[in-house]
Structure 1
Amino acid sequence: MKKKGGGEDGGGNWMDTYGDLVTLLLTFFVLLYSMSSVDSKKWDIFVRSIYPDGKTPSEKAASQTPLIVDSEAEKADETTETQADPAGDPVAPENEIPDSEDLYIQIAAALQQAGVSDVTVTGGEDYTFVVFKDKAFFGGDSSVLTDQGKHILDIFCDTIKDSNDAISQMNIMGHTAKANPNQDNSVRGDRMLSGMRASEVCIYIQEKGIVDPDKLVSIGFGQYRPLEPNDTPEGRASNRRVEILIIDKDAKERSIEDYYKEIQDNINGDTTVILREDGSYANQAAQGADAGVVDGAAPAVEPVPGN
Structure 2
Amino acid sequence: MSRKREQEVEKDNGERWLLTYSDLITLLMIFFVVLYSMSKIDAQRFQAIAESLNKALGGGTPAKIELANSPTGPSLFQTGTPSSQATVPGKGTNPNNTTYTDPAASTNNSKAGQGNADEEKMSIEEIKAKLDKFAADNNIQTKLITSIEERGLVVSLQETLLFESGSADITAHARDILEKVTTVLASSPNQIRVEGHTDNLPIHTSQFANNWELSVLRATNVVEILQKDGITPDRLSATGYGEYRPIASNDTEEGRAQNRRIDLIILRSKYDVTEPSNLAPASDSLAPVPAVKP
TM norm structure 1 = 0.44
Q: Which structure has more RCO (C-alpha within 8 Å, separation ≥ 6)?
A: 1
